[in-house]
Amino acid sequence: MPEKRKTRGLRHLALRVRDVQVSQRFYERLFDMKIVWQPDPENVYLSTGYDNLALHQVSPEELSQFNLYQVQPLDHLGFLMDSPEGVDALFKEVTEEGMTIVKPLKRHRDGCYSFYLADPDSNTIQVLFEPTVQL
């Protein structure tokens, strides 16, 4: 019988982006991510210490076909916050800066509290307080 494995959660996500540097600054500033590896100017790997985000530059050949308004396979990615007040603070910051809010603040039936915003490549990000997840 094979040894039982324990999944520790989804800890890695890779996104194809139009401008690695613009996206890198976005995720560093809003979500406290730090560079853990940058093998070349077209690729960067960021981490919070718990999660890893890879950003990959769309090639010049693909860029002309990179349509942000078509349906994308990724619905959204999420960043957990330590409190509802943390969600409120980030909502205030991104609203004041004129960033795109996809869905406004909402308290969910399960006790979660969140809002959704768009990153520079129109990927949807849920900023979420989830009371049952211990960080």
Residue 70 CA to residue 104 CA, distance in Å, equals 22
Tokens, residue 54: 């890879």
pLDDT at res. 29 = 96
Q: Which domain holds residue 91?
A: 74-135
Question: The whole model's pTM is what?
Answer: 0.77
**Residue written as token pair 């603040």:** 105
Residue 67 has pLDDT above 70, yes or no: no
Which spans in 64-119 are helix H? 84-96
pLDDT (average), residues 103-110: 92
Which of 111, 89, 109, 120 has the alpha carbon at shortest distance from 27? 120
Q: Give the tens place of pLDDT for each residue, 35-51.
A: 999 999 999 999 998 88
What is the share, in percent, of the chain residues with pLDDT greater than 70? 85
Q: Which residue has the higher pLDDT, 20 or 49?
A: 20
Q: State the CATH number of the domain containing residue 49.
A: 3.10.180.10
Residue 62 has pLDDT above 70, yes or no: yes
Mean of all residue pLDDT scores within the chain: 86
In-domain check, residue 15: yes
Number of domains in the chain: 2
Count Cβ atoms within 10 A of the Cβ of residue 5 and give its class: 0-12 exposed, 13-18 middle, 19 or more buried: exposed
> What is the three-class DSSP state of 66?
coil
Which of 118, 115, 110, 119 has the alpha carbon at shortest distance from 128? 115
Residues 133, 80 within the same domain: yes
Q: Residue 37 CB: number of other CB atoms within 10 A?
A: 11
